[in-house]
A and B are shown apart, each in its own frame.
Chain A
């Protein structure tokens, strides 16, 4: 009786390990945001969702105020295309090409004014964001932020 219990416990442990191995990727999401960056006096407070990017955004793009125009969280599935935060003027298409234990390989196409402006291939690692400088809009700059969460 006790031996059977040990065997079942071992099998359950193995199943948990295998399930945990699979779930490493099952919960991955690509968080993307379309951000408008402007210079204003005084500077506007950083939106809560951008607080972890605030310093980098200011250093990279040189603006002091940021607004989130839209954000999206999508599950990443290999070989599928996703449109991230489509707007009337800019579109970003994401295709998951490959993945490994630490990062996703993505193909990104940026459309501005209904024409392809940029095509790129990136490896997007967890907690290491990707910034894409988009077109100007009025006095501000459109920026895409992508991060695996």
Chain B
């Protein structure tokens, strides 16, 4: 003997034996409300079946569904691998240490270069030849002076009364 709830479920699913339907419906306090509720459940069940049913192409080709599932799995695997690679690509502490040491050495070398260059930066006058001192070894006989060339290119040491070498004496 089924209880009321079991009979209600079977009636709603149209699974109650026909000879028990009339007796069950006679027990219902409001038959119209019960039929409305049955109609709502029938529609809901049909909607759920439509939603959960696979697309027609799946039904036609089971291999297509399998390939879709495999592709999804591969995509997820690639994402997982990429995440793992990113985690290993992070610089380790040793890489940071070596990188820091390398940069320190580079900075030191560059500093040496810059300092060595700046140490010898010439002033403008150092690009001009200058006579610091010019004196005759025999002041009683001759004298020495200096000046810039007339057009400003070159300096001149001018030895006055520098002496004479006879033409007959070979120079070379």
Contacts and interface: CB of A to CB of B under 8 A. Distances in A.
Interface of A: 7, 10, 14, 17-18, 21, 34, 36, 53, 55-56, 59-60, 69-70, 87-90, 100-103, 105, 108, 110, 112-113, 115-126, 128-139, 142
B172 A88 contact: yes
Interface string B17-51: 00000000000000000000000000000000000
Contacts, number: 167
B165 A123 contact: no
A63 to B, nearest CB: 14
A113 B165 contact: yes
Interface residues of B, number: 46
Given A60-B149, A121-B132, A103 B127 contact: yes
A136 B162 contact: yes
A126 B129 CA distance: 8
B163 A133 contact: no
20 contacts: A17-B113, A21-B116, A59-B151, A60-B156, A70-B172, A101-B121, A105-B132, A110-B159, A112-B165, A113-B163, A113-B165, A115-B138, A120-B132, A122-B155, A125-B128, A128-B128, A128-B154, A128-B155, A135-B165, A139-B167
Given A112-B162, A115-B137, A60 B150 contact: yes
- Interface hub of B116, B121, B131, B163 (most chain A Cβ within 10 A): B163
B144 interface: yes
Interface in B124-170: 126-138, 142, 144, 146, 149-151, 153-159, 162-167, 169-170
